[in-house]
Amino acid sequence: MTDPRTAELLAALEADTSFEAGAQFLKIAADYFARTRTGEGPVSTRLDKRALTARFDEPVPMGMTPLADVAKRIETDVMPDIIQLMHPKYMGHQVSAPLASAVWTEVVISAINNSQAVWEMSPVTTVIEERVIGWMCQLAGYGPGAAGTFTSGGTEATFTALLAARAAKYPDAWRTGWFGKQPPVLVHGEHAHYAVQRAAGAMGLGTDNCIAVGSTPEFKMDPVLLAETLERLHREGRDVLAVVATAGCTAVGAFDDLEAIADLCDQYGHWLHVDGAHGASVLLSEKHKWRVKGIHRARSLAWDPHKMMLMPLSAGMVLVRDGKDLERAFAQSAPYLFHGADSEVELSPDLGKRSFQCSRRADALKVWVSLQRFGVGGIGALYDALCEKALALHADISTTPGVKPLHAPESNIVVWEIAESDPSKVAEARAELNRSGRGWVTSTVIRGRPYLRVTAMNARSDTLSVHFLE
């Protein structure tokens, strides 16, 4: 006989599976969409951490609470003070105002809870992930032998790619390590994402063995300086683990000259990784994809659909020109997980063999749904629209007294300075704006000077104007 407490719990579990129960949470999301897309209310909270902490200062719950009451708390205690990325005046970090189709798919992904590590736990979603990865490899210009895996984001994607580069250059490194040997160097541009040096530190290479190559006036890795660096390293007999180029750098959105960099990597026989976490989505744009000419020559590519493809977090990818590179990167056996014999791999692939993660959500499903919904052309048009918003803002800044643009935007990122003012005023101006709720922008430091920075990530923003700073 089931005791009353257990019976109550089982009844709650059953009740929570109903459409009516789920609809409470879907309504919260739908109401958020409706409210924010009209520009209603502030972009961000005016409360500080102390006030927010006090709101949730409560003992761990020991008993059950009706689901309707929990949903109500989300409405009253959570939603009013979130950063509203769907708000037309949110222009902050490179996190998207996501497509609703992908948001609704998140419910399905969580409900099925299939783990992508092993085929027997995710047969359908494994096939979908392989199909989506295949599409992305095709868009990148990779051939039939290409492969990839979904990641938590660009940082993990770059880390995975560099592990693959290590396995290619040092086949025994996974087993024996590489301590005691002269370490190789990792070459990247001065505006590379911190993920590159983070990977160097995490994999035991050490950030001291990272070489930053200077930029052109347009903030691109300078091919002339890169050639000089690679030639010097060659003369010194130093191994190069990889050269990392950037497609859409975080600071200003600039695209490195991939053809020129690929030529140099081919000349010296170096692995070329392209960090396209932000900018690789340009491949969906007929208007702008020329900016990544030569990307197919990269041996590996990081790409975040949760940026310019407007997916909800998380949805990152690493692609490799040769799928075997990923298999070699993680030279482990785990008989409690991976059961397929080598001859069966093609029929029952365990994706965990090519990923740093084990337990992993079926994030490919939301990308698949959104591509079904809008197609490459539709998402590419949204990419173009975000770039147009940045160009409009740049034009506005260029004719506004007291502000000065740093660069002509190549993507959806615009950076400017408050002219004829103390650099310390930049932080003050940003803090005041974000605190006011009238907008939400970020800042950066480039060549020792602070700048204000915006990223157009919301397709619903009718216009971006510098006049919100007034």
CATH number of the domain enclosing 224: 3.40.640.10
Give the tens place of pLDDT for each residue, 3-15. 888 888 888 889 9
- Cα separation, 96 vs 251, in Å, equals 17
Compute the average pLDDT of residues 188-206: 93
- Cα separation, 206 vs 420, in Å, equals 40
Number of folded domains that form the chain: 1
- Cα separation, 370 vs 93, in Å, equals 22
For residue 92, is it within any domain? no
For residue 310, is it within any domain? yes
pLDDT at 71: 96
Q: Is the pLDDT of residue 331 over 80?
A: no
For residue 457, is it within any domain? no
H helices within 170-299, ranges in order? 173-176, 195-202, 223-236, 258-268
- Cα separation, 330 vs 353, in Å, equals 6
Q: Is the pLDDT of residue 342 over 60?
A: no
For residue 134, is it within any domain? yes
For residue 433, is it within any domain? no
For residue 49, is it within any domain? no
Sheet bearing 316-320, strands edge to edge: 147-151, 316-320, 300-303, 272-276, 240-246, 185-189, 210-213
Domain that holds residue 234: 111-369
Q: Is the pLDDT of residue 377 over 90?
A: yes
For residue 10, is it within any domain? no
pLDDT at 430: 81
For residue 219, is it within any domain? yes
Give the model's confidence band at 75: pLDDT under 50 very low, under 70 low, under 90 confident, else very high. Answer: very high
Amino acid identity of residue 291, one-letter, is R
Report residue 231 CA to chain centroid gap: 33
Give the tens place of pLDDT for each residue, 268-291. 999 999 999 999 999 999 999 999
